[in-house]
Amino acid sequence: MTDDVIDDRALVARAAGGSEQAFRELYRAYVRPVYWVAFGLVGDAADAEDVAQETFVVAWRKIPSLRLEGTSLLPWLATVCRLQAQNRLRARRRHGSHAELDEQIPAVVDVEAQVVQAQTVAAIIAAVDRLSELDREIFRLCAAEGYGYEAAAATLGVSHGTVRNRLSRIRSRVRATAMETETP
């Protein structure tokens, strides 16, 4: 995360007043961390996407009555996400799949760990955003979409070696960024 601490209180207040733009800003800021919280709870990418979306639907409905305690909306969103994940896992159990997972959802979300994880995700996103356009595309194709070096090289019109070398440097930078946010 950047040195600037993001204070969500103003955005929450505007969203509570009906500002869709303010809510979109909150969504953009937190959809990825909420997705990763959901994925950690349900263990399935498709279900995690659904849980993240359901979390923001609930947030939109409840934000007018929300009184934000700190400067970040993430702890509240993590709690809503946990509840939505429990609902998703109960639905799985009713349909006869993954029944044992419902008991694995923690009763209490470790908010500090979630905030650190969100800060790490935000730092990684910021590091990727600072890359050149070609490097961002290489990262997107190889790291996010699972392309091999050859397929990424063909898509981008560069050599296999270019993709391999740049991706190695990108991964080193991203790894260093992640490690910086996790150390006290």
pLDDT for 99? 45
In a shared domain, residues 67 and 102: yes
For residues 51 and 99, the answer to whether their CB atoms sit within 8 Å is no
* Residue 124 within any structural domain of the chain: no
The verdict on 98 and 48 lying in the same domain is: yes
Q: What pTM does this model have?
A: 0.52
Domain of residue 172, residue span: 131-184
Q: Is 80 exceeded by the pLDDT of residue 66?
A: yes
* Tokens 């959802």 sit on residue: 105
Quick: pLDDT tens for 36-63.
888 888 888 888 899 999 999 999 999 9
Q: Which domain CATH number covers 50?
A: 1.10.1740.10
In which region does residue 30 sit, left (phi positive, over 0), alpha (psi from -120 to 50) or beta (all else)? alpha
CATH number (domain holding residue 155):
1.10.10.10
Phi, psi for residue 70 in degrees, rounded to 5? -100, -155
* Amino acid code (one letter) for 143: A
Task: Based on the fold, state whether residues 152 and 101 are members of the same structural domain.
Answer: no
